[in-house]
Structures are given as structure tokens and as C-alpha cells.
């Protein structure tokens, strides 16, 4: 998801998105540990998405 799309969402929607991404990241880590994850790049992609959303939340709290 692009940052411009994230900035249009409300803080509640962003918080829900962070929870969904964290759950998704957990599932990927469990699949990796059990050897069921074939595409390991999705872990890195998810981690960066979480950071991106958290950055937008922080910007909204500062009022930017």
C-alpha cells in the first residue's frame, strides 16, 4: 500500500491495519519455522509495511 493511500485513512483504520499486518507477520514466522513458507521475501515486505503504517500514525499524532 502506498503512503498516499495510507494518509487518506483515519487513525482507527490505520491501527486496525497494523494489527492485521502484525497477525500476518506472525503467521509467516510460524510457517517459516515449520518449513511451510516458500517465499521468504514476504516477511521483509510485511515488516516494512508495518513500519510504513506506524510512521503515518506518528505523523498524524504530530499534526502533519
Separation of CA 6 from chain center:
11
Phi-psi region of 63 (alpha: psi -120 to 50; beta: other; left: phi over 0): left
- Residue whose C-alpha is closest to residue 53's, from 27, 26, 21: 21
Give the domain ranges of the chain.
Answer: 3-62
| H helix count then E strand count, the chain | 3, 0
> Is 3-62 a CATH 3.30.70.260 domain?
no
Q: What is the pLDDT of residues 4-53, one digit of tens each?
A: 999 999 999 999 999 999 999 999 999 999 999 999 999 999 999 999 99
- Between 25 and 1, the more confident residue is 25
Residue 55 pLDDT grade (very low, low, confident, very high; cuts 50, 70, 90): very high
- CB neighbours of residue 6 within 10 Å: 19
Amino acid at each position: 500500500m502506498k503512503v498516499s493511500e495510507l494518509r487518506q485513512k483515519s487513525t482507527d483504520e490505520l491501527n486496525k491495519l497494523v494489527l492485521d499486518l502484525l497477525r500476518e507477520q506472525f503467521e509467516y514466522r510460524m510457517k517459516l519455522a515449520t518449513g511451510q513458507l516458500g517465499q521468504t521475501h514476504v516477511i521483509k515486505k510485511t515488516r516494512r509495511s508495518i513500519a510504513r503504517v506506524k510512521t503515518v500514525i506518528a505523523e498524524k499524532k504530530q499534526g502533519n
